Amino acid sequence: MAFYEGVPYLILYNFFFVMPLLLITFAVALGLSPKFVDFARIKHRNKLRLVMGLALIIIGAFVVWWQI
């Protein structure tokens, strides 16, 4: 795999997994309470699992489609 072939995978990975972590980190650094973040995570656990599952399905479809 050449470098240019891996770039779309890296961008997709960063969009779905790294960016949310950075947003949460910056929100806490700017004053959002870690307790509130934990409460929201627990309150919306099912929605988060659904979004993460859909993200993995999209990434899987992208990988399969890209290889064809």
Domain that holds residue 59: 3-67
pTM, rounded to two decimals: 0.60
List, for residues 2-33, the tens digit of each pLDDT value: 777 788 888 888 887 888 889 889 999 999 99
Mean pLDDT over the full length of the chain: 87
Residue 68 is predicted with a pLDDT of 58
% residues pLDDT > 70 (the chain): 97
Number of domains in the chain: 1
CA–CA gap between residue 15 and residue 37 (Å, rounded): 20
Q: Which residue has the higher pLDDT, 50 or 9?
A: 50
Q: Are 62 and 12 in contact (CB under 8 A)?
A: yes
Q: Are 13 and 62 in contact (CB under 8 A)?
A: no
